[in-house]
Structure 1
Amino acid sequence: MAYKTFVTLMLLSLLASSALAQAPGAAPTAAPTKSPASPTPAPTKAATPPTASAQAPTVAPPVSAPTTSPSASSPSKVTAAAPTGLAPTSSPPAPLGPSAGVSAGEAAVSEGGGLKLFVFGDSYADTGNFEAVKRPGNPFNYPLGMTWPGKPAGRPSDGYVLTDILALFFNTSAPPTYSLWEKNSSAAESELKNGMNFAFGGSGALTTWENVTLSVQLRQFKQLVESKVFTPSDLQDSVAVLSSIGNDYYFYLRTKNASLTELRDYMKKVRTTILEVVEGLSKMGIKKILANFFISSHDQILVDHNKHFKESIDAIAKRDNMKIVVLDYDKLLDAAKAMYDKEKGNTNDDCCRLLPQYKGNYTMFCGDKDGTGKKVYTLCQDPAQYFYFSRGHLSHDGWKKMDTVLLGSKILEPLRS
């Protein structure tokens, strides 16, 4: 089951149970039991974008498609949680060559040359931080990265993640990861012209399986700015990307027997924290933000949540003369899947699936082996035929379809200027 679908069903289950409990003459009902679905430590999908200028109303994208920083002494580092729960070590296979279907434009993702991207969030945007911190002695293995760049590249996909398609759109490259800067600032220095990626797989606005929250990531960024790794002019010539696709809700619903009141309070905390991060970026001098959030409108509590969130975002944008685009990821995803359904086929299953006995094990990934050297996964014959690659993460072709929908919607155009 896709991650977005699972989170939505869990929320609706709780809301339905609460409604039954409050109905006249209804027998008391127990808190909803949590389904054992197993998404990855990285979230999933949320909706389509709004038109952005001073305010950013949400607009569904059409389904049809159109077509230096100065060097600085290394600052003190904001550290993440100590590595825990590593998957069994297995020797990595020899990397494959790049896929014949990868275009010159796709290859340019790794070359750079445009404005800076400062990326915050979860595994939909992470290009290596989770792998470096949580798996230092056991990096990701084939088939991750098999389509692009031809070898594992810190992404939970056979190729692109959100950061990569945004890099293509803005004519830049995926920026270096914060973990690379922590480990070897001189190695990351030449890539600082592209910004930096703080996103961490499994994270959320609040503490989930990981404690590298959006607030922690913002502090990491602030340290670099205070240490003059990035200058005020760097921030003005940049786009901040926030990706928070549901880890908060998935983690909460899996670990809590929450009442409706508790859920409302929790959603408010998530919303408040995200807004605090937006405020923090504004105070630092960021003027353009692309926010990619889990948005759903299946029930009034979710409608209210989205309404309050959008009103607050619009108020910040107007007050600080910012351009903030909020992607309605739900609608964006549905539009991309509809296109994929017509052209290819499988939009329900993962290409790379963990064996049943490992489905609840969040330290295991596609490409891992057990202690005896046996694969813990099965792999499809052609990832290009699958919208999802592994544990609800989109495949390279799935992300390319998302890119097509984004281009057709024109939603990101305000962030170019």
Structure 2
Amino acid sequence: MKLLRIVLVLLLPAVSSCLPCRRRDDYDYDSIFSFGDSFADTGNGAVVFAEHSLFSPATKPPYGMTFFGQPTGRNSNGRLIIDFIAEKLGLPFVPPYLAHFVLNTSSSVQLGWFDSLKPSLCSPAQECKDFFHKSLFFMGEFGVNDYSFSVFGKTPLEVRSMVPDVVKTISSATERIIKRDGAKAVVVPGIPPLGCMPPNLAMFPSTDPAGYEPGTGCLRQFNEIAVYHNTLLQDAIKNVQKNHPDVRVIYADFFTPVIRIVQSPGTFGFTSDILRCCCGGGGKYNFNMSAGCGMPGATVCEDPSTHLFWDGHMTEAAYHFIADGWLNSINES
């Protein structure tokens, strides 16, 4: 899966280590390792694409306006899910691992970069084993970019056919950090409803009204792909858990909290124009590739906390709501 490999390179890995830190509640983790795409990126993309402003708008205002007061490379107005989880665990924010960006290398080579980081974290081998036993690993979210990018030139049916391979890649990577690195707690997030995301709504409109879900206004076929992915992923996670009964392998639901907000935005304090980006360059969904957030021609809403979507990614308010659900899953598993 070439696209998934590229994403792994981009964000491999981000680590937040705080050995003296003590837990605030029932959690007991000394560090966080996060593998993921732009929903979890705390600044790697800004470095990787530093010379390509089209791909690094998160380095410019109004990104970061709500919490940090300046751009940090996060694709949001403030904190991400991983930030809220780190805060809850009493750990510092996860910094970016400024990895080199290399195309067309195998996933084993890219995951090998994680190995290159280990000597700076722990040694000898036994100490590393103990260190990773007390770490919380996030394997994803992965899949959004694979499916969204693949729509260019592929039918929805062809994109759907990719799902088993994407899920297999995620489960294999999860097995790898358990077997090779000794991970004892791995969170594997699903993907959000692809059909509700403003970039997909703006770029792939349906000519048939039946192509939209009546209760949400989201693209039906895109959401069906997301549901299919999440179903297969949960089955794969159960198999990984069965293979490693002494490890906590936790599914994090990304789909349900987002769809709940879309279906009933007022209940959660969001605007009724729920599928529209807070920051963007106009159009029905306020999403425009040539005038994206942080670029000339873009505008920003008055109150991002009332919006689900920031620039196609989500707002800090939305991430906070999603993070609460993930923390419950981590605590209960």
TM-score, scaled to structure 1: 0.56
Question: In the superposition, relative to structure 1, how do residues 401 and 215 fare at CA in structure 2: closer, same or farther (>3 Å)?
Answer: farther
Structure 1 stretch 334-343 or stretch 307-316: which is displaced more?
334-343
Q: Secondary structure at the match of 1:291?
A: strand
| Residue of 132, 136, 139 corresponding to 1:235 | 132
Q: Which residue of 2 aligns with 1:290?
A: 187
Deviation, structure 1 residue 376: 2.9
1:400 and 2:296 correspond: no
Separation of aligned partners in 1, 2:114 and 2:61:
31
Q: Does the aligned pair in 2 maintain the 1:119–1:241 contact within 8 Å?
A: yes
Q: Which residue of 1 aligns with 2:65?
A: 146
| Residue of 372, 379, 384 corresponding to 2:300 | 379
Q: Does the aligned pair in 2 maintain the 1:146–1:158 contact within 8 Å?
A: yes
1:412 and 2:309 correspond: no
What whole-Å deviation, never above 9, does each CA across 1:39-78 have from its counterpart, x for those lacking one? xxxx9xxxxxxxxxxxxxxxxxxxxxxxxxxxxxxxxxx9
What whole-Å deviation, never above 9, does each CA across 1:3-24 have from its counterpart, x for those lacking one? xxxxxxxxxxxxxxxxxxxxxx
Question: In the superposition, relative to structure 1, how do residues 266 and 159 fare at CA in structure 2: closer, same or farther (>3 Å)?
Answer: same
| Residue of 222, 234, 241 corresponding to 1:310 | 234
Q: Secondary structure at the match of 1:393?
A: coil
Q: Does the aligned pair in 2 maintain the 1:121–1:214 contact within 8 Å?
A: no
| Residue of 119, 128, 150 corresponding to 2:34 | 119
| Residue of 230, 237, 259 corresponding to 1:334 | 259
Q: Secondary structure at the match of 2:310?
A: strand
| Residue of 135, 139, 152 corresponding to 1:254 | 152
The structure with the larger Rg is 1
Q: Secondary structure at the match of 2:309?
A: strand
Q: Which residue of 1 aligns with 2:164?
A: 268
Q: Does the aligned pair in 1 maintain the 2:278–2:304 contact within 8 Å?
A: yes
What whole-Å deviation, never above 9, does each CA across 1:310-334 have from its counterpart, x for those lacking one? 3332122122221111122111222
Q: Which residue of 1 aligns with 2:281?
A: 354
Deviation, structure 1 residue 218: 2.7
What whole-Å deviation, never above 9, does each CA across 1:219-269 have from its counterpart, x for those lacking one? 3212222x45342222111111121251111111223347x4x54542221
Q: Which residue of 2 aligns with 1:220?
A: 113
Runs (5+) with no aligned partner, structure 2: 1-6, 12-17, 23-29, 123-127, 194-219
The count of residues paired between Structure 1 and Structure 2 equals 270
Question: In the superposition, relative to structure 1, how do residues 339 and 305 fare at CA in structure 2: closer, same or farther (>3 Å)?
Answer: closer
Q: Which residue of 2 aligns with 1:323?
A: 248
Separation of aligned partners in 1, 2:185 and 2:90:
16
Question: In the superposition, relative to structure 1, how do residues 381 and 241 fare at CA in structure 2: closer, same or farther (>3 Å)?
Answer: same
Q: Does the aligned pair in 2 maintain the 1:317–1:324 contact within 8 Å?
A: yes
Separation of aligned partners in 1, 2:52 and 2:226:
41
Q: CA RMSD in A?
A: 3.7
Q: Does the aligned pair in 2 maintain the 1:288–1:323 contact within 8 Å?
A: yes
Q: Does the aligned pair in 1 maintain the 2:135–2:185 contact within 8 Å?
A: yes
Runs (5+) with no aligned partner, structure 1: 1-42, 44-77, 82-109, 184-199, 201-206, 369-374
